[in-house]
Amino acid sequence: MSDALRPTGSSPTSETSSRAILAPGYSFTSVTDKIASIALSRRTPWQWFLGALTGFALTMVLLASLSYLFVKGVGIWGVNQPVGWGFAILNFVWWIGIGHAGTLISAILLLLRQPWRNSINRFAEAMTIFAVACAGIYPLIHVGRPWLAYWLIPYPNSMSVWPNFRSPLIWDVFAVSTYATVSLLFWYVGMIPDLATLRDRAKKLWAKMLYGMLAMGWRGSARHWARYEQASLLLAGLATPLVVSVHTVVSFDFAAGIVPGWHATIFPPYFVAGAIYAGFAMVLTLAIPLRKLYGLEDFITVRHLENMAKILLATGLIVGYGYLMEAFMAFYSGNVYERYAIANRMVGPYRTIYWSLIFCNIISPQILWFRKARRSVPILFVMAMIVNVGMWLERFVIVVVSLHRDFLPSSWGMYRPTAWDWSTFAGTIGLFLALMFLFIRLLPMISIFEMRQILPAAKAAEGE
Amino acid sequence: MKPVGLYGLMAEFENPGDLVAAARGARGAGYVKLDAYTPYPIEALTEALDIHDRKLPALVLGGGILGGLLGYALCYWTSVISYPLSIGGKPFHSAPAFIVPTFETTILVAAFAAVLGMLGLNGLPMPYHPVFNTPRFALASRDRFFLCIEARDPKFDREKTRAFLEGLRPSIVMDVEP
């Protein structure tokens, strides 16, 4: 970091005010230049190349896996009877869950007037969009004939048929596509003023033109800002019920089926809490290396990490309640199949996965009760990784372990993912990483104008 | 007399507080065609410039209602009129099931109304605008605060307005070429 970008009068890593959401000593100028320089002028760190290269290499693995899938069909996967929903649905749910934190941070925390969100909302929204993009691949490729995936969409056709609107699967098409579209709109609108900053700060002609076109001639007029703020609040108000609806609808895919272990009314809230849990774990997974790599500890402070750790703990407890109630209701129902489904999770052939899930999602996050753990960056990073894995295991338990033994013992079976299942999964992680690395290199990864709003000079002008 | 070949006069301020005070001063002096340019939204400025615009919320409400009606109509028309299918003995008109797509289309159209409405009412995208001709205006997206009194203001007079703006203690007053 060049000296010009350091805040005056304090060392850049001073932790003097550990409750602060922004290190002291910053001005409109230094905040702007520090964030804009990441996209415009700073030398790209070698770790970026390493990460982006890994992402692109794995994206190639995804393309290869998909090509082979299109040639051979879904038989290359481990899906069978009775487990017709293997990795495709498991990973779809996992990715879409991760994609919940961004909109939650941008919308719900905006409505709740939590200014600490201002430094993490931008890349969390980007993460949301890329996670939803990865999620969106799975339903399309698991339909068997992916070239006909557009049949999911209601459109007038020569066959004179329409989708069945009483099916949760068509609800999912509406929920996920609306969520992807609205998240993209929200992300882009949030970026317009910052794109104007990049346009005005760029030195290279192509950068001026690119950012100039994307900024659409934004000039920071007070009249524009007034409408812009209205639009942001309205979008936040619209996105808040939307974000809750998405995982609710995803849970309907399961809960509306009569499979033991799926047919439960607790699914919607428990899925939504799980989605927020997984999403915040992924935000931490990304924020911790990013702040280190780009020296952003002044903007993404320990306070931010601690707040996210608290959300992680709270949603983790809700998820734990969900597991508990699922088990309790199965026994309380007196239904032999429901009871068996839960017992099968705990002591059946996939018991290792169930107990690993309990360890990852319920037991290990309890360490976050301790302030020391919440403020320790290494512990938080490990914790976030554990939750990422735990939420994946949860979806394995829900999708695979429920399906593999249903009502009739004669139709029981086992599911084992194949190498193609794993390569497709690794490939979507690669796509996610590649998009994320492109984003942090080319676009402002922290919202510059919202950082200006939390500066002391800005608060003084509002008479606060 | 209105000078030909001038969009307005632009005063630059070092900090937001001075700009808000200047905007109040200019409104107080009777100027009406004026705008401020800032690197971030300032609520006090919206009040100072007396900006009241309630078109956007109305547009979004309209968009939401339209989206909801379209969504429900789609479900109803396809499931009851165009392609009635008896599945599990459920009624063709299954209102509870139609709520989910209806909800999603409500949000979708309302969100588009919010975004396109905001851009449209703001006149964006606008590739050219006179204020960009002002030297130093690039700082409006970084750390400086600008107040522009436009030449179409009935009270505008090149010399008097310039003197007035200079009295508001800006760091500089600049001509804005059209």
> What does the domain layout of chain B look like in residue ranges?
8-53+128-176, 55-121
CB contact under 8 Å between A231 and B114, yes or no, is: yes
Q: At A55, list the tokens.
A: 């992402």
Name the β-bridge partners of B175: B9
pLDDT attached to residue A44: 85
Q: Which residues in chain B have Cβ-Cβ distances shorter than 8 Å to A224?
A: 122, 124
Those residues whose C-beta lies under 8 Å from the C-beta of residue A131, and which sit 6 or more positions away, are A95, A96, A98, A99, A282, A432
In whole angstroms, give the CA distance from residue A76 to residue B50.
65
Which chain A residues are closer than 8 Å to B38 by Cβ? 220, 222, 225
Q: What is the model's pLDDT at position A4?
A: 43
- At residue B8, does pLDDT exceed 80? yes
pLDDT tens-digit readout, B28-62 = 888 888 889 999 888 888 888 888 888 999 999 99
**Residue A91 pLDDT more than 70?**
yes
Specify the pLDDT at position A180: 93
Q: What is the CATH number of the domain that holds A82?
A: 1.20.1630.10
What are the structure tokens assigned to A107, written together?
Answer: 């919308």
pLDDT at residue B74 tops 70: yes
Contact: A28, B46; criterion CB under 8 Å: no
Of A154, A238, A457, the CB nearest to B74: A154
Contact across the interface for A185 and B100, Cβ inside 8 Å: no
Provide the Cα torsion A14, A19, A21, A26; round to 10°: -40
b (16+ CB within 10 A) / e for A63-96: eebbeebeeeebebbbbeebbebbbbbbbbbbbb
Nearest-neighbour CA in chain A from B4: distance (Å): 24
Cross-chain CB nearest to A221 (options B35, B78, B90):
B35
A346 part of a folded domain = yes
Quick check: is A184 in a domain?
yes
Per-residue model confidence as pLDDT tens digits over A141-167: 998 888 998 998 999 989 889 999 998
Q: Which pLDDT value is given to residue A463? A: 64
Average pLDDT value for residue range A191-202: 90
Domain count, chain A: 1
Mean pLDDT of all residues in chain A?
A: 88
Q: How does the average pLDDT of chain B come out, rounded?
A: 87
Whether A297 is covered by a domain: the verdict is yes
Q: Cα–Cα distance between B46 and B20 in angstroms, integer? A: 9
Chain segment A215-244, per-residue pLDDT in tens: 998 988 988 999 999 999 999 999 999 999
Which tens digits make up the pLDDT trace of A112-131? 888 888 888 888 999 999 99
Tell me the CB-side half-sphere exposure of residue A179, using CA atoms within 13 A.
34
Q: Residue A17 — very low, low, confident or very high, per pLDDT cuts 50/70/90?
A: low
Asked if B129 lies within 8 A of A29 by C-beta distance, the reply is no
pLDDT-derived band at B4 (thresholds 50, 70, 90) equals low
Residue A157: inside a domain = no
What pLDDT is attached to residue B156?
83
pLDDT digits (tens, 9 = 90+) for A271-308: 999 999 999 999 999 999 988 888 888 888 888 899 99
> By C-alpha distance, which of A190, A227, A34, A199 is closest to B132?
A199
**Average pLDDT over every residue of A307-321:** 93
Instruction: Identify the pLDDT of residue A188.
Output: 93
pLDDT above 90 for A249: yes
Average pLDDT over residues A337-349: 92
Give A404-455 pLDDT, tens digit per residue. Answer: 998 899 999 999 999 999 999 999 999 999 999 999 989 998 988 888 888 8
Q: Please indicate, yes or no, if residue A200 is contained in any of the structural domains.
A: yes
Q: Taking CB atoms and an 8 Å cutoff, what residues of chain A touch B40?
A: 193, 225, 449-450, 452-453, 458
User: Does position A42 have pLDDT exceeding 90, yes or no?
Assistant: no
Domain assignment present for residue A158? The answer is no
User: Is pLDDT at A11 greater than 60 in this prediction?
Assistant: no
CA atoms within 13 A on the CB side of A259: 21
Cβ–Cβ < 8 Å for B111, A238:
yes
Smallest CA–CA distance from B128 into chain A, residue: A217
* A267 closest CA partner among A248, A295, A286, A283: A248
Chain B residues in contact with A450 (beta carbon < 8 A) = 40
Tell me which residue range forms the domain holding A210: 20-146+164-461
B136 inside 8 A of chain A by CB:
no
- Minimal-distance CA residue of chain B relative to A180: B108
